[in-house]
A = this chain, B = another copy of it.
Amino acid sequence: MSLRVKPEEMKAVFLEKLKAHGATDEAVAEECAEIMVENSVNGVYSHGVNRFPRMISYMDKGYIHPEQRPTLVQSFGAFEKWDGNLGMGNTNARICMDRAIELAKANGIGCVALKNTNHWMRGGQYGLQAADAGCIGICWSNTQPNMPAWGGVDCRIGNNPFILCVPKEGGHLMMDGAMSQFSYGKLETTRLAGKKLPVIGGYDTNGNLTDDPGEIEKSQRLIPIGYWKGSGMSILLDMIVTILSDGNSVCEVGKLGGDEYALSQIFIAIDADRTTDRREVLLNAIIEDVKSSIPVSEKSSPRIPNERSNRVREENLEQGIPVDERVWETILAL
């Protein structure tokens, strides 16, 4: 059963719970609640309302230190290295993308490498933040080991979500994708719905490729996007974020005891307001060309990344955010 919760009501509840569990800094609690509601409004429930209980539990366990704010470690002009001080992951990320945007407005491009931070929830949020400022947003995070490298059986690499975002009137365009073909969240919801995955998603416990989500949950053998290609990209993204932030790599995060904290992230902004005066024309030409493809079927025609999210947003703002009743009860009882 699902109910609809108005964004302002959800935010009030989040604020109350955050404060009750140690987010004593008013600004941190306010921003954190705002981002969690925004992710939910945008339809990314897995990294919004559905993830809220786990965020609170990480505060209770002492992984997240909501009283801490990120601090500057090193500055080289358009590049800065920050320490997240294990503060709230989403507010840390917002601060660092804000800083990357400031650097981009001053230098054309800006980059912030962040260590000792926590799960940023929906990475796309920070891409959209850059785009709101007229910037290209490029960012990624490492994760705990949650996927085998191509050729291996046990989880050694991260799904390291990677975000590319382009500013556009009427709704920014964005690719926000993990290096695994599917997330564990998607496997679970597909299994609970009694369905198969739309394409092969990993291996079963006998080592055969399968589209059965439950079998992949058992084997923990997710496949990377493009097999060896996504595996290689995951490893490189981890290497870059690790040596630029001087922070934890995926394998170091894996040594922390099974929970996912003390991560490393990269935020790049490039000022797109000064590079061309025909941005809308150029982007519309690309969009129209892709949409004029011959469709595979009536049900399946090419999509422009993030278009669906823009539609979902309007619906959720109007009707309220759809929330599973049990999830909402859990949150109210926190």
Tell me, in angstroms, the Cα distance from A274 to B113 when the chains sit together. Answer: 13
- Residues of B within 8 Å of A108, CB to CB, are 75-80, 111
- Residues of B within 8 Å of A110, CB to CB, are 78, 109
A293 at the interface (CB under 8 A from B): yes
Flag if A293 contacts B244 (CB, 8 Å). Answer: no
Q: A76-B108, A226-B230, A251-B286 are in contact. Are A302 and B246 (CB under 8 A)?
A: no
Q: How many residues of A contact B (CB 8 A)?
A: 89
Contact with B along A218-248 (1 / 0, CB 8 A): 0000001111111111011111101111100
Question: How far, in Å, is A233 (CB) from chain B's closest CB?
Answer: 5
Flag if B302 contacts A151 (CB, 8 Å). Answer: yes
Flag if B153 contacts A239 (CB, 8 Å). Answer: no
Q: A286-B251, A294-B153 are in contact. Are A81 and B275 (CB under 8 A)?
A: yes
Residues of chain A in range 265-313 having any CB-CB distance to chain B below 8 Å = 268, 270-272, 274-276, 278-279, 282-283, 285-286, 289-290, 292-296, 300-305
Flag if A236 contacts B166 (CB, 8 Å). Answer: yes
Residues of chain A in range 176-229 having any CB-CB distance to chain B below 8 Å = 177, 181, 199-200, 207, 224-229
Q: Oligomeric state, in number of copies?
A: 2
Question: How far, in Å, is A186 (CB) from chain B's closest CB?
Answer: 12
Question: How far, in Å, is A190 (CB) from chain B's closest CB?
Answer: 15
Q: A230-B225, A233-B164 are in contact. Are A243 and B276 (CB under 8 A)?
A: yes
The closest CB in chain B to the CB of A254 belongs to B289
Tell me, in angstroms, the Cα distance from A79 to B79 when the chains sit together. Answer: 12
A106 at the interface (CB under 8 A from B): yes
The closest CB in chain B to the CB of A76 belongs to B108
Q: A177-B233, A244-B272 are in contact. Are A295 and B152 (CB under 8 A)?
A: yes
- Residues of B within 8 Å of A76, CB to CB, are 107-108, 271, 274
Question: How far, in Å, is A263 (CB) from chain B's closest CB?
Answer: 15
A157 at the interface (CB under 8 A from B): yes
- Residues of B within 8 Å of A6, CB to CB, are none
A-B contact pairs, 27 of them (CB 8 A): A76-B274, A78-B78, A79-B104, A79-B107, A79-B108, A79-B271, A109-B109, A152-B293, A153-B295, A153-B296, A154-B294, A166-B240, A175-B229, A175-B233, A177-B233, A181-B227, A225-B225, A226-B226, A235-B286, A243-B272, A244-B270, A246-B275, A249-B285, A249-B286, A251-B286, A252-B285, A254-B289
Q: In the A-B complex, list the 3 residue pairs whose CB atoms are closest, starting with the nearest.
A: A79-B108, A225-B226, A152-B293
